[in-house]
C-alpha cells in the first residue's frame, strides 16, 4: 500500500520556516552522543529542506525528565552531533518556547538549522486536558509555517508535539517517516515469500497481537528470548528459575493451537527452542551449560558414546534459561536460508552481558549472533531483512551493524504497532495525500 499521507515532496515548502519533529532520543555519555543512528536517519529530510531554502527548526524529546529542566537530558549534545554530521554550525536554544526560542527562530536564515531544547522539559508535552495541550501546541506552532513529522519512534504516542501540534500548522511527513511506514506495511501486506518472523522479548503480552498476525501471514515463526520460556511452560517443560509469565500460559497454548491448525492445512512452522544455555548465576562461567530438552541431538553428541544423564535434558530448579542453544540457533539460521523476507523483532537471549575482555558478544548472545550472521548472508542466502524493536536495534547499533540489514527501524513501539496493523496517531494527524 502506497503511503497515503502528504510528504515534504507534495507541498510548496520553498523558503518556508519548517518546524520538524525528529527523534533525537539518543544515548549520551559524558556530554557526547554514543550512537548517532537516529540522527543520521534524519539527514535526508533535513538536506531536502535545505535544498528548498528552508529555515529549519528541530523539535525532539530525550529521556524522561519528569516535565522539568535537567541537564542530563539536554539536547545540546545531539545538536553538536548533527552539526558534525552536516559539517556546519547548528544553533541551539535553551528552551523550546518563550523569548529565547522565539529570538533564535527569528535569527535563522535559509538553510540554517536550530535545535530546540527537550520538549519534555515542559509537563504540558504530556498534558491530557485539552486547554493545556492546545496552549502548548500553539506556542510550538508559532516557530514554523509548516510542520514536518519525521520522528517515527514517537508517532504511536499521544504527546502534544506528535498528535496535537499538527492541528495548528499544515502537517506533512518527512522522508524517514514515509520510508518506515512504506517498508513495514509493504512487508506485512505484500512480502516476497517465504516470509519468516523471528520474535523475541520478555513478555507474550507485549507481542501477542503481532504473533497472531504473523500466524495469519507468515510461513515460519521462531520464538526466542524470555518470552519463549512461557511457551515451554505451556508444553510442560521445566524452566527452573527462568523468567516466565505463568498467567500467560493460556495465551501461549492458544497461540500454539492456532499454529497447529494452520500447519494442518498448509506448509507452516511455529518453532520453539529445543535446547538452551542455562546457568545458576550469570556472573559465574562455571555454572553455564547447555540443556537439550527436546532435540536430543546436542545431549547425545556431548556424552557419546555414553547414554546422556537425565540432567542433560532438564533445566534444574536453580537454573535460568539465558539463551537459545546451538541446535535451536542452527535450526532458525537454517530456516533463514529458505526465506526471502525476514522480520526480526527481539533478541534470543541476554545480550546485555558482555564477554571476556569486553567482547560485545556476551556468553548469552551467541543465539542472537547466529541469527545475525544468517540474516547478513554468511551462510549463502541473504533475505530481505526488517529489524525492529528497542532491544534488537540497540544490539545492532552497539555492534555497529545498522548498515548490514535492509531496513533497521528507528522506532520500537511504533514499528511493533505497525506490524500489528494499528493506525499510528502521529501519522493519522497529517494531511491526506491528494491522488
Q: How far apart are CA 177 and CA 152, in angstroms?
A: 5
Beta strands per DSSP E along 205-340: 220-223, 269-271, 276-279, 289-291, 320-324
433 φψ region: left (φ > 0), alpha (ψ -120 to 50), beta (else): beta
Q: What order do you get walking across the sheet with 289-291 strand by strand?
A: 289-291, 276-279, 320-324
Parallel, antiparallel or unpaired: strands 289-291 and 320-324: unpaired
Nearest one of 229, 200, 220 to 396, comparing CA atoms: 200
Catalytic (active site) residue 390:
yes
- Catalytic one of 253, 413, 421, 433: 413
Q: Which of 203, 253, 382, 399 is flagged as catalytic?
A: 203
Active-site hit among 63, 134, 240, 390: 390
Beta strands in 165-300 (DSSP E): 171-173, 195-199, 220-223, 269-271, 276-279, 289-291
Q: How far apart are CA 370 and CA 383, in angstroms?
A: 15
* C-alpha torsion 279→280→284→288, nearest 10: -20
Distance from C-alpha of 197 to C-alpha of 215, rounded to nearest angstrom: 9
CB-CB contact of 215 with 195 (8 Å): no
Distances (CA, A) of 320 to 100, 291, 324: 54, 11, 12
DSSP, res 11:
S
Looking at 38, 120, 139, 207, which residue is catalytic?
Answer: 38
Torsion sign across C-alpha atoms 135, 136, 140, 141: negative
Buried b / exposed e over 256-283, threshold 16 CB at 10 Å, is beebeebeeeeebebbbbbbbbbbbebe
38 is catalytic: yes
Where in the sequence numbering do the catalytic residues fall? 38, 203, 390, 413
Amino acid at each position: 500500500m502506497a503511503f497515503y499521507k502528504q510528504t515534504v515532496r507534495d507541498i510548496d515548502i520553498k523558503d518556508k520556516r519548517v518546524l520538524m519533529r525528529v527523534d533525537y532520543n539518543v544515548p549520551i555519555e559524558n556530554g557526547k552522543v554514543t550512537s548517532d543512528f537516529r540522527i543520521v536517519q534524519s539527514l535526508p529530510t533535513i538536506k531536502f529542506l535545505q535544498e528548498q531554502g528552508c529555515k529549519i527548526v528541530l523539535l525532539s524529546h530525550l529521556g524522561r525528565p519528569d516535565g522539568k529542566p535537567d541537564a542530563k537530558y539536554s539536547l545540546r549534545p545531539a545538536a553538536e552531533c548533527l552539526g558534525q554530521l552536516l559539517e556546519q554550525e547548528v544553533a541551539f536554544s535553551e528552551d523550546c518556547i518563550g523569548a529565547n526560542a522565539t529570538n533564535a527562530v527569528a535569527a535563522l536564515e535559509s538553510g540554517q538549522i536550530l535545535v530546540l531544547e527537550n520538549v519534555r522539559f515542559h509537563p504540558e508535552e504530556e498534558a491530557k486536558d485539552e486547554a493545556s495541550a492546545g496552549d502548548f501546541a500553539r506556542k510550538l506552532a508559532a516557530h514554523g509555517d509548516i510542520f514536518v513529522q519525521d520522528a517515527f519512534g514517537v508517532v504511536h504516542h499521544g504527546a502534544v508535539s506528535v498528535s496535537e501540534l499538527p492541528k495548528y500548522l499544515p502537517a506533512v511527513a518527512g522522508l524517514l517517516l514515509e520510508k518506515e511506514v512504506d517498508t513495514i506495511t509493504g512487508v506485512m501486506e505484500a512480502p516476497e515469500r517465504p516470509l519468516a518472523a523471528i520474535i523475541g522479548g520478555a513478555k507474550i503480552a507485549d507481542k501477542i497481537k503481532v504473533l497472531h498476525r504473523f500466524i495469519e501471514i507468515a510461513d515460519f515463526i521462531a520464538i526466542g528470548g524470555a518470552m519463549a520460556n512461557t511457551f515451554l511452560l505451556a508444553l510442560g517443560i521445566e524452566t527452573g528459575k527462568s523468567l516466565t509469565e505463568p498467567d500467560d500460559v493460556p495465551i501461549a497454548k492458544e497461540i500454539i493451537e492456532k499454529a497447529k491448525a494452520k500447519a494442518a492445512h498448509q506448509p507452516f512452522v511455529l518453532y520453539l527452542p529445543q535446547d538452551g544455555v542455562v546457568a545458576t548465576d550469570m556472573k559465574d562461567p562455571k555454572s553455564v551449560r547447555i540443556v537439550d530438552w527436546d532435540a536430543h541431538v546436542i545431549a547425545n553428541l556431548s556424552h557419546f558414546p555414553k547414554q546422556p544423564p537425565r540432567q542433560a535434558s532438564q533445566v534444574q530448579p536453580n537454573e535460568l534459561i539465558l539463551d537459545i542453544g546451538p541446535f535451536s540457533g542452527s535450526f532458525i539460521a537454517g530456516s533463514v536460508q529458505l526465506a526471502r523476507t525476514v522480520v526480526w523483532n527481539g533478541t534470543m537471549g541476554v545480550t546485555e552481558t558482555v564477554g571476556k575482555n569486553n567482547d560485545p558478544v556476551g556468553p548469552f548472545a551467541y543465539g542472537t549472533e547466529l541469527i545475525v550472521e544468517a540474516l547478513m548472508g554468511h551462510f549463502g542466502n541473504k533475505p530481505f531483512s526488517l529489524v525492529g524493536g528497542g532491544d534488537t536495534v540497540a544490539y545492532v547499533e552497539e555492534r555497529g551493524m545498522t548498515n548490514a540489514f535492509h531496513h533497521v527501524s528507528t522506532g520500537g513501539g511504533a514499528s511493533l504497532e505497525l506490524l500489528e496493523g494499528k493506525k499510528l496517531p502521529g501519522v493519522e494527524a497529517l494531511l491526506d495525500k491528494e491522488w
